[in-house]
Structure 1
Amino acid sequence: MSYVLTEEQQLIQQNAREFAEECVAPVAAEIDNTGAYPADIVKKMVEQDFLGIFLPGKFGGAEAGYLSYALIIEEISRVSGAVAAILLNHASLAAYSINSWGSEEQKQTYLKALCQGEKLGAFALNEPENALGVGEHKLVAVKDGDHYILTGRKCYVANGGVAGVYIVIAQTNAEAGAEGMSAFIVDGTAQGLSVARTIDNMGLRGCQSAELIFDQVKVPAANLLGTEGKGLAIAAKAQAAANIAEGAMVLGIAQAAMEDAVKYGKQRIQFGRPIASFPAIQTMLAEMAAHIHMLRLTVYDTAVLLENGEPFSVEAAMIKLFAARIGQSALIDVIQIEGGYGYSQEMVASRFYRDIKGVIVNNSSFDFPEKSIAKNLLA
């Protein structure tokens, strides 16, 4: 079966594909080679309303739904995982969090800026060397009158250093364990907030990853997102929403990689015939196609659950688990089909492999899909 898209969704999908092919594809290899943040591409995404595609119209969003957003992520990922990752971290994590838990004032101030592209969003969760809330560099927020003072570090922050708005998870009560973490909206220009270093990742290059220093950063109490002690709950739900978009990223990358392998298989002659005619190659391609098809149905269906306000966290965990398996397996097979050429930097398969691995490991220190699925089964 295939997923039936509405006419509007089909138009959005087609527009995203044309945007990706015309604006992103010509510079995708350069972005990967240099690792430079593609500011011009992000500006063009703003012009297409991609940054607020599923968000409310009164804050500058397009209200097109989460499935439309997933379609955009998928199409952009077919040519550049890095550009898709910039959009994902902005929309699925930062903007989604403010839209879901923010006050009306927070939405007017920050969500509007995120939708209209005045500011890029980021989500600061992981901390250097240790688990969240542990170690000498843990981020601590101390209440001081009508402000909180944030001190510590965050690491592997996607869009770090280029974002104008950060959703930051910090410890507000060391004695409360998981209930002692809270979420804050922190302006990227806040005094005391700086970039310790940018991290040169092997994949998704162009989606800047950074370690941030919070040196007595003064954040208004009004910038507390939700209530004190709900930081991990917010992070978990936002990550579940991001899992859907990550599934769409895996779809786009794996689909493009499979198509590249099919093209190569038809052109590469071995023993007097194209290698695509060999049963072993056809089995690899058939398994890829089947897995991609099943993942696509799951991603689309779960995106609809989210946009309809229905529970989606368990299905999102299933996407995370399944996408990790089929993504890696597809790219290993693609490189196997393309042989020595596939392993070389001359072929796009190398970038696809590095990018898909980056999608799979994102926030893995916090997000364990097997736990969510098993908990639901045993409830």
Structure 2
Amino acid sequence: MSYPLTEEQQLIQQNAKEFSLEYVEPVAAEIDHTEKHPAEIVSKMVEQDFLGIFIPGEFGGAEAGYLSYILIIEELARVSGAVASVLVNHASLAAYSINRWGTTEQKEIYLTALCQGQKLGAFALNEPGAAPGAGEHKVVAVKDGDHYVLNGRKSYVANGGAAGVYIVFAQTNPEAGAKGISAFIVDGQAEGLSVARTISKMGLRGCQSAELVFDNVKVSAANLLGAEGAGLAIAAEALAAASIAEGAMVVGIAQAAMEDAVKYGKQRIQFRRPIASFPAIQTMLAEMAANIHMLRLAVYDAASLLENGEPFTAEAAMIKLFAARIGQSALIDVIQIEGGYGYSQEMVASRLYRDVKGAIIKNSSVDFPEKIIAGDLLA
């Protein structure tokens, strides 16, 4: 690994690795099997300042920077993609949005609670069967004096049901279409807000996903995040920040899978020698290692751009595009190397494959990554 990390970043990385091995790895398979929200692990992450690692200290954060946070995500994902996903949805989406667009009062109330672990964050963007603000179940916010009234449904809300704070995107001006979507900070205990169902998934199973119902939910006008009509712009940037973190998830998952394949390849004997000595196996491992290395460098670089206040959305889209290609191919090769054992539930590869697929497809950006990259080139 040749990317220059500061001494503080190296210490944070090592701490995250030790934390993951001690607290997460022993229960990773159980989390996947039960699909249960890992509340105890989240509580332990609070003690390590993981939940607000890049948030300013005045709002309860550790102020260690976005790259330090990315290092934590990578280490968590090496043992549990689900636990890493819980943190990504909390930090990269909910906490990032409030830190980036929130008023001082909103930050003092909600961001502090998110950093200190009093509340878990979630990002309610997607709606059943349609783009935000377009389907029959779209969430509509109607202004009524000093508050808004929200009605509709949100689907596939990660951390849904476990979260205490939701960033909710609602239509405030139906005539304006997508430009009429606004963002709100909604308390998880708000009257009229309920969980219709939790959604069982193929992977990232410990990161609970839910369908939320908004039935005349009153939200103070003071909880409008940013300006009216700025919802999609807020969502696009927050999703770009999350794409960097999801790239780190792919790096961590693929790294763990490759290491498992290397170990297996050294132990598995065929024709009186380890299969790791076969050229075909070595080629797959070499391509895997090269792709993981390049993705890691891209993720660290994009995290540094974000941390330093420089444009990062094009780089985040490149990560989304590249991670989708190398994450799945790496896991397919690992299962191929491990053969029937890799396909069985006895090996970790099957869980890693399901998790890496989830890291790739979750939180798809408002635009396809190719469109974002091309738009940056042609601007």
- The residue that corresponds to 2:282 in the other structure is 282
Please report how far the alpha carbon of residue 376 of structure 1 lies from its aligned counterpart in structure 2 after TM superposition.
1.1
Q: Which residue of 1 aligns with 2:341?
A: 341
Q: Which residue of 1 aligns with 2:106?
A: 106
Alignment match, 2:271: 271
In the TM superposition, residue 163 of structure 1 has moved relative to its aligned partner by 0.1
Supply the distance in 1 between the matched residues of 2:236 and 2:131 (Cα, whole angstroms).
Answer: 15
- The residue that corresponds to 1:130 in the other structure is 130
Match for 1:319: what amino acid?
Answer: I
What is the CA-CA distance between 1:136 and the residue it aligns to? 1.5
8 Å CA contact retained: 1:131, 1:365? no
1:2 aligned partner: 2
Partner of 1:18: 18
Contact 2:193 2:215 in 1 (8 A): yes
Q: Does the CA-based 8 Å contact 1:244-1:302 persist in structure 2?
A: yes
**1:39-93 deviation per Cα after TM superposition (whole angstroms, max 9, x unaligned):** 1000000000000000000000000000000000000000000000000000000
Partner of 1:118: 118
- 1:134 Cα deviation (Å)? 1.6
Matches within 5 A, 1:33-52: 33-52=33-52
CA shift at 1:365, angstroms? Answer: 6.7
Contact kept, 8 Å, 1:166 with 1:187, in 2: the verdict is: yes
Quick one: which amino acid aligns to residue 185 of structure 1? Answer: I
Q: Give the Cα–Cα distance (whole angstroms) in 1 for the partners of residues 322 and 48 of structure 2.
A: 31
Which amino acid in structure 1 is aligned with residue 364 of structure 2?
S
Structure 2 distance, partners of 1:365, 1:166, is: 18
Q: Match for 2:83: what amino acid?
A: V
Between the two proteins, what is the percent identity of the paired residues? 82
Q: Does 1:78 align with 2:70?
A: no
Partner AA of 1:251 in structure 2: V
Q: CA deviation at 1:174?
A: 0.9
What SS does the aligned partner of 2:182 have? Answer: strand
Aligned residues of 1:161 and 1:210 also touching (Cα < 8 A): yes
How do residues 1-379 of structure 1 correspond to structure 2 at under 5 angstroms? Answer: 2-364=2-364, 366-379=366-379
**What amino acid maps onto 1:204 in structure 2?**
L
1:211-252, Cα deviation, whole Å (9 max, x unpaired): 000000000000000000000000000000001100000000
Gaps of 5+ in 1: none
Q: How far, CA to CA, are the matches of 1:275 and 1:66 in structure 2?
A: 40
SS in 1 for 2:79: coil
SS in 2 for 1:117: coil
| Equivalent AA in structure 2 for residue 232 of structure 1 | L
- AA partner of residue 57 (structure 1): G
User: Residue type of the partner of 2:168?
Assistant: V
Q: Cα deviation per residue 1:302-324 (whole Å; 9 max; x = unaligned)? A: 10100100000000000000011
Render the CA deviation track for 1:93-150: whole Å, top value 9, x for unaligned. Answer: 0000000000000000000000000000000000001121122211100000000000
- Deviation at 1:363? 2.2
Aligned CA-pair RMSD: 0.8
Following superposition, which runs of at least 4 residues in structure 1 exceed 2 angstroms of deviation?
363-367
Greater shift after overlay, 63-72 or 367-376?
367-376
Do the aligned residues in 2 keep the contact of 1:197 with 1:212 (CA within 8 Å)?
yes
1:321 aligned partner, one-letter code: L
- How far has the Cα of 1:367 moved from its partner? 4.3
| Structure 1 residues 283-317: Cα deviation after superposition (integer angstroms, max 9, x where no partner) | 00000000000011110011010010000000000
- CA deviation after TM superposition for structure 1 residue 366, in Å: 3.1
* SS of alignment partner, residue 247 of structure 2: helix
Distance, in Å, in 1 between the alignment partners of 2:238 and 2:129 is: 23
Contact 2:235 2:366 in 1 (8 A): no
In structure 2, C-alpha distance between the alignment counterparts of 1:19 and 1:367, rounded to whole Å? 36
Give the Cα separation in 1 of the matches to 2:364 and 2:8.
34
1:59 corresponds to which letter in structure 2?
A: F
Would the aligned equivalents of 2:239 and 2:364 in 1 still touch at CA under 8 Å?
no
Asked if structure 2 preserves the Cα contact closer than 8 Å seen for 1:85 and 1:204, the reply is yes
Q: Give unpaired runs (5+ residues) of structure 2.
A: none
Rounded to whole Å, the distance in 2 between the matches of 1:347 and 1:367 is 36
Measure the CA separation in 2 of the matches of 1:71 and 1:15: 10
Matched residues, number: 379
